[in-house]
Amino acid sequence: MKTRIFSAPTTVNLEITDVCNAKCRHCYNFWREENARTASLTPEKFDGIADMLVEAGVFHVVLTGGEPFSRFELLEYALRRLAGNNISVSCNSNLMLATDEKIIRLRDAGLDHILTSLNSHDTDTNDYMVNQNGAFKKILRGIDIAVRNGIRVSVNMIVSQRNKTHVYQTGRLAHELGCQKIFGTRVVPPVSLCHKEKIDVTIEKEDARLVLDSLVEVKKDTGIMIGTLVSYPLCFLGDLEKYSDFVGRGCPAQGGHRFSINANGDTHACVHEEKNYGNIFEIGLGKAYQNMISWRDGSFRFKGCLGCDYIEICQTGCRSSALAYYGALDKQDHLMENKNSFVKHYKMEAEENVLREIVNGARFIVPQRLRFRKENGFYLINIRWANTITVSNEVGEFLMKYKITGDDFGINEFGRDKQELLLGLFLKDVVESKMLSSDPLKTKAGLSIDLAALPVCK
């Protein structure tokens, strides 16, 4: 399948400051000089970036740091500025500086989701990993404040050898605190391990398997949503039904969706990446994004994955992990197995009667929340937040028409030869129906894929 090249990213990680109140041992900003962690955007510089994002048609921005709450006035200003331009916004924060007043102000400015860090249910382990005594209690207090004031909170647990056995209990704690999701994100080590203990920045295959099984178990026991922010190779998963919550993440940088901007204006394709593709204040967003083309044209894909049915979804695993373990972006992900390791293949969790009801006359509407961007030969559809898929021109224009008119439609209008495609759109929350008796498989947070690459109902 030919890779579709975007004109601009769909989601931007925008660092408003690199000042942070923690110093995590696994932090992906490991490569920065100690005396460089003092950069913050000004409102004027932020406005310049915001203008570029609007012009490029970016759908979603993650306001991050450093610790964005350390520059709270700018964080609130950025939220209002982006929300006023139909750009959805989320925030990454350790929540140690959260107060009721601050959370309420951010909620009123349009924020509805915060991704926070909680690396263990054990106080000592968590505080060791973030290099700050008392951090555990502050994080739990911040989560409570956010949840009480109507902000959705997801927990990101960076998992290494240090805390690999803590996943289940940390997930239970997150559920008890009212968090909607826990991400079991495998640590991505720095290129050089000499300045840190190896146990803090590496994870082996048996450890990663334990992480996945623990997440599946905590979801079964509590109902909390699960996922990862760094993809696991699908051949490592093997059983794609059991581990279906981890299918589809892929590599946002290779997919063309993600773009990262530092507080000083430097740009990266991946947040773990040291390489700078140009300063956005000097060359603009478009040129910096163009400079990252090697990430998107297949250059960094591991050649041993060629011929795999899932290459467009998996995108050969985490490229930054390949660089860290084997010294090059086009090497294999260290968790990778092989194309013959699949024991159960992926399929959408849809009952046969859903497809039957579609064929027999179910009616659909296109929700007003959808956002569209025309590309060269296809459309991008943003479902919500950072969830963006690609569709053909024909499908994109059809959906845009029905969004504008507000009319409903069925399989006859959509095309009786496109039954499975319509089912896929329904399962992905692109279209909605009051007539169907089965609930759709809701879009996974952060899932950005080419719908045509996903095997539906196989």
DSSP-assigned states of every residue in 313-363: HHTTS-HHHHHHHHSSTTS--TT---TT--SB-------HHHHHHHHTT--
CA distance 93 to 88: 17
CB 390 within 8 A of CB 450: yes
Going by C-alpha positions, the residue among 218, 307, 290 that lies closest to residue 256 is 290
Is there a single domain that holds both residue 381 and residue 421? yes
Q: What is the CATH number of the domain that holds 292?
A: 3.20.20.70
For residues 127 and 221, state if they share a domain.
yes
Residues 217 and 164 occupy one common structural domain: yes
Rounded to whole angstroms, the Cα distance separating 245 from 75 reads 31
φ/ψ of 278, rounded to 5, equals 120, 150
Considering the domain architecture, whether residues 170 and 314 belong to the same structural domain is answered as yes
352 CB contacts (<8 Å, ≥6 apart)? none
User: Is residue 338 assigned to a domain?
Assistant: no
> Which amino acid makes up residue 214?
S
Give the pLDDT score at 345: 83
Assess if residue 136 is contained within a domain.
yes
Tell me, yes or no, whether 245 and 288 share the same domain.
yes
- Does a structural domain hold residue 344? no
Alpha helices, DSSP H, located in 252-318: 280-291, 293-296, 311-314
109 and 216 belong to one structural domain: yes
> Does a structural domain hold residue 4?
no
In this structure, is residue 343 part of a structural domain? Answer: no
187 and 102 share one domain? yes
Residue 359 CB-density burial (10 A; 0-12 exposed, 13-18 middle, 19+ buried): middle
Establish if 428 belongs to a structural domain: yes
Instruction: Give CA torsion, residues 405, 406, 409, 413, to 10 deg.
Output: 10
User: What are the C-alpha distances in Å from 304 to residues 115, 154, 331, 333, 455?
Assistant: 34, 35, 9, 11, 21
Q: Is residue 335 part of a domain?
A: no
Q: Do residues 318 and 364 both lie within one domain?
A: no
Does 80 lie in the same domain as 225? yes
Tell me the residue range of the domain where 72 lies. Answer: 11-326
Q: Which residues contact 450 (CB under 8 A, 6 or more apart)?
A: 1, 4, 255, 312, 389, 390
Tens of pLDDT along the chain (458 residues) come to: 456 889 999 999 999 999 999 989 888 775 555 555 689 999 999 999 999 999 999 999 999 999 999 999 999 999 999 999 999 999 999 999 999 999 999 999 999 999 999 999 999 999 999 999 999 999 999 999 999 999 999 999 999 999 999 999 999 999 999 999 999 999 998 765 554 467 888 999 999 999 999 999 999 999 999 999 999 999 999 999 999 999 988 899 999 999 999 999 999 999 999 899 999 999 999 999 999 999 999 999 999 999 999 999 999 999 999 998 999 999 999 999 998 899 988 665 556 778 889 999 999 999 999 999 999 999 999 999 999 999 999 999 999 999 999 999 999 999 999 999 999 899 889 999 988 854 544 433 333 444 444 433 22
pLDDT of residue 347: 65
Fill in the DSSP letter of residue 41.
-
Domain boundary among 292, 326, 360: 326
pLDDT at residue 349, rounded to an integer: 54
Same domain, 390 and 283: no
pLDDT of 453: 45
| Model pLDDT, residue 42 | 97
Same domain, yes or no: 273 and 375 = no
Q: What's the residue count for the chain? A: 458
pTM for the whole structure: 0.93
Same domain, 313 and 376: no
Query: Could you tell me if residue 333 is inside a domain?
Result: no
Tokens of 456: 């539906």
- Three-state DSSP state, 179: coil
- Residue 280 contacts residue 267 (beta carbons within 8 Å): yes
Number of domains in the chain: 2
Q: Report the alpha-carbon angle 436-437-439, nearest 5.
A: 85
The rounded distance, in Å, linking the Cα atoms of 453 and 457 is 13
Match 């990993």 to its residue by tokens: 129
